[in-house]
Amino acid sequence: MDGGAINLYSAEKNNVFTVVSVPNIGLLENLGIRLGTTISLQNRYAFGGPVVLRVEDAYSVALGKDVASQITVKEAGL
Amino acid sequence: MSHGHTKRSSQDIRPNERILLMGNPNVGKSVFFTEFTGIHAISSNFVGTTVNYMEGHLPVGDAEFSLIDVPGTYSLTATSEAEQVAVEFLKEGAKAIIFVLDASNLERNLCLALEIRQYNIPTIYCLNLLDVAKRRGLIINEKLLEKELGAPVVPTVAVKKHGLDELINRLEYMLKKPEEHEEISCANCTACAFHKAGEKADVWCAAKDIARHVTSNKNKTAEDNFFDKLGAASVKPWPGIPIAFLVMALLIGVVVFGGRGLRAAALLPLVNDLIVPFFRWLFASFIPEGIFLNILTGEFGIFVISFEWILALVFPYVLFFYVGFSFLEDFGYLPRISVLFDNVMRKLGVQGGSLMYSVMGFGCAVPAIIGSRAASSRKERIIVTAAICFAIPCISQTGALAALLSAHSWWLFPAMIGLGLLIFIIVSFIAGKLVKGKVDPLILEVPNLLMPDPRSYGRKLLTRMKHFLGDATGPMMIAILIAAVFAESGLLAIIARHTEPLVSQWLGMPSEAVSALILGIVRREMSVVPLLALELTNLQAFVGGAVSLLYIPCLSVFAILVREFKLKIAAIVTVSTIVIALFVGGLINQIGQLFI
């Protein structure tokens, strides 16, 4: 994994990230979460709840913990 | 899924008389549909699927077309039923496609648009939600987009009816001169390279390039409006969770008070003072007194209780439920509940998305169980179905429960909601432990909140009420006929004598209450309504309500369970609901007796 890549589920809120790796799930692709997509983390929820992402600063997608923790991201611009 | 042959209602409509209305979910497609086709439209089921689509007449110039509102999808990869249906429609072909693009979210929308272009059907694009894009500071060069796509692009704000006439005019022009749309000169950009490529990755790249090419960012022209702010706040844990409880309380309030108000103010007087006396007078004028007349218009006569129960009791509550539920749905609020409570649902072995089916189940268990096919795993489906069958009363049953319990004491109905919630948690948890398999995690778009378009909203409400009356009236009449024959022939008294140990001693109910248990097999609300006529104590009303809540979910649900899960699971659910209902009801009675 390249330097600075972190797990999306533990990423910091409001920073802007680029997707580095993503599991092969059709719905994720279709919702535009692919390699190189720019996302920021808007909300997180206690007790193993999901994360809500802003994708390409255009729309919001909620991802459950189990899928968010399979996605790695790095800070955009790095 | 079936191939080729589509639906019942439009079998006679040839593909070249069809115009397909397509686009991503949440782009305002249904608003276009309502504006174009007026109030008259048919909702049809795509054969072999659970997917419903709307269909209506669209006159373009001198020609008549059938406009088909194809279910909104994100792609054509056929990973969901809605996508399969979209692909099926494209394969069959059409005269033209009206493709709705969300201007505030162009890239993702263009992905689907480019995928659809591979079917070579003349397409006209509407650049919708331009007001939202403008607020976000996005300026889109639609002339350039037109060149990139090689097809007409019409800017629209459908909810304000901006651009709709132009859309139809340009559609007419395009249909008259189909070769013309090729002639819009090519800007020689990336999209052309895509023409030859069929790979999905190329579609994304092309969509991204086009979107970047035609969009320029300006500073935001306006602050976020009220709905933007509410939309953002209502998905955050704080204040989102309190808002969610408030919304649910409001929905229950609208149903209980709205339903009760309409019943008391208009429907009861109508039934008691007008309809029932009319039929009593009518039948008495030519039928001699006796059992036959009693079955028609006696205390439990068909022409008495069918109006009292269906029109004055069930109808108002169902109406107000759909008033509230359809609003929340069109408003874009419901996915927020799935997000907020995903963590709780995850602990119960399902994911937040399945809450949708439970909320739907408050309307009726049948569409909820069918809808749960969209759940990605079998385990999730079974858990959701079990929870709906045990713990979620359908709306007419909720109405009947509200009428029964709130007539006794104000706290009985909230207590019943608490009991339902407790059972929901227990059943989900146990089913989650028993059923093997995996549950897929939540992946869900959280749409913007948007004030529903009154006409599309009105139409949806009308369609739902029609469906309800069409589906429910038959079984309700059967239950009512059984009730009338049983009550008026004296059969009920005989059955009541034999079931007395169970009904009176164990449940503590009057022995006539057995009619609720018999009729409840046919329709859910019928396990409550017969109790309304009895003189009950608070405890008896609550026990009756609890038994009804847990009791077997009606004949239609049984049929759906057999169809969807095979007879064995249907039989298990049915028998266990009856046994558990009687057990828990009796337990509440026995414990309650100790305190009285």
The CA distance from B334 to B315, in Å, is 24
Same domain, B194 and B264: no
pLDDT of residue A64: 95
- Sorted by where each starts, the structural domains of chain A and their CATH numbers stand as 6-75 (2.30.30.90)
Q: In this structure, what token pair is assigned to residue B66?
A: 């059938």
Q: Is residue A70's pLDDT more than 90?
A: yes
A16 DSSP assignment: E
Same domain, B260 and B387: yes
CA B66 to chain centre: 24
Q: Which residue of B has its CA nearest to A60?
A: B446
Task: Sort B467 into a burial class: Cβ within 10 Å, 0-12 / 13-18 / 19+.
Answer: middle
CB contact (8 A) between residue B441 and residue A66: yes
Structural domain of residue B118, as residue ranges? 15-217
Same domain, B479 and B374: yes
Under the banding of pLDDT at 50, 70 and 90, the label for residue B103 is very high
The verdict on residue B323 lying in a domain is yes
The verdict on residue B230 lying in a domain is no
Residue-wise pLDDT for B20-62, tens only, equals 999 998 888 888 998 898 766 666 666 666 677 888 999 998 8
The CA distance from B260 to B254, in Å, is 10
Same domain, B416 and B479: yes
Q: In this structure, what token pair is assigned to residue B241?
A: 């969770």
The verdict on residue B164 lying in a domain is yes
pLDDT of residue A1: 47
The verdict on residue B1 lying in a domain is no
CA distance B52 to chain A (A): 21
CA distance B150 to chain A (A): 24
Q: Which position has the higher pLDDT, B187 or B442?
A: B442
The CA distance from B129 to B155, in Å, is 9
Q: Which position has the higher pLDDT, B184 or B144?
A: B144
| Residues of B whose CB is below 8 A from A32 | 107-108, 111
Q: Is residue B198's pLDDT more than 60?
A: no
Q: For residue B185, give the CATH number of its domain.
A: 3.40.50.300
Q: What is the pTM of this model?
A: 0.86
Under the banding of pLDDT at 50, 70 and 90, the label for residue B2 is very low
pLDDT of residue B48: 61
Residue partners of B178: CB distance under 8 A and separation at least 6:
B122
What integer is the mean pLDDT of B557-580? Answer: 88
CA distance B235 to chain A (A): 8
- The closest alpha carbon to B156, from B94, B115, B207, B100, belongs to B100
| Residues of B whose CB is below 8 A from A68 | 441
Same domain, B287 and B341: yes
Residue-wise pLDDT for A5-28, tens only, equals 899 999 999 899 999 999 988 889
**Mean per-residue pLDDT of chain B:** 85
Of B79, B352, B444, the CB nearest to A61: B444
Same domain, B198 and B243: no
The CA distance from B86 to B505, in Å, is 58
pLDDT of residue B318: 86
Percent of chain B clearing pLDDT 90 (strictly above): 36
Q: Is residue B305's pLDDT more than 90?
A: no
Which one-letter amino acid corresponds to residue B40? H
Q: Is residue B572's pLDDT more than 90?
A: no
Task: Sort B112 into a burial class: Cβ within 10 Å, 0-12 / 13-18 / 19+.
Answer: buried
Q: Is residue B368's pLDDT more than 50?
A: yes
Same domain, B324 and B434: yes
Same domain, B243 and B193: no
Of A42, A45, A56, the CB nearest to B107: A56
| Residues of B whose CB is below 8 A from A66 | 441
What's the number of CA atoms in the CB half-sphere (13 Å) around residue A14?
0
Last-in-domain residue among B185, B217, B249:
B217
The verdict on residue B135 lying in a domain is yes
Q: In this structure, what token pair is assigned to residue B150?
A: 């090689």
Q: Which residue of B has its CA nearest to A30?
A: B74
pLDDT of residue B40: 66
DSSP for B531-593, please give it.
Answer: HHTS---HHHHHHHHHHHHHS---HHHHHHHHHHHHHHHHHHHHHHHHHHHHHHHHHHHHHHH
The CA distance from B289 to A41, in Å, is 75
Residue-wise pLDDT for B124-173, tens only, equals 999 998 888 888 888 999 999 999 998 999 999 988 889 999 999 999 99
Same domain, B275 and B415: yes
Q: Is residue B192's pLDDT more than 60?
A: no
CA distance B22 to chain A (A): 16
Q: Is residue B201's pLDDT more than 90?
A: no
Q: Is residue B489's pLDDT more than 90?
A: no
Same domain, B341 and B481: yes
The verdict on residue B483 lying in a domain is yes
The position carrying tokens 């036959």 is B292
Task: Sort B172 into a burial class: Cβ within 10 Å, 0-12 / 13-18 / 19+.
Answer: middle
The verdict on residue B45 lying in a domain is yes
Q: Which position has the higher pLDDT, B96 or A77?
A: B96
Same domain, B273 and B358: yes
Residue-wise pLDDT for B242-255, tens only, equals 999 999 889 888 88
Last-in-domain residue among B157, B182, B217:
B217
Under the banding of pLDDT at 50, 70 and 90, the label for residue B179 is low
Q: In this structure, what token pair is assigned to residue B24?
A: 């991503």
Last-in-domain residue among B152, B184, B217:
B217
pLDDT of residue B218: 72
Total domains in the fold of chain B: 2
Same domain, B151 and B251: no
The verdict on residue B338 lying in a domain is yes
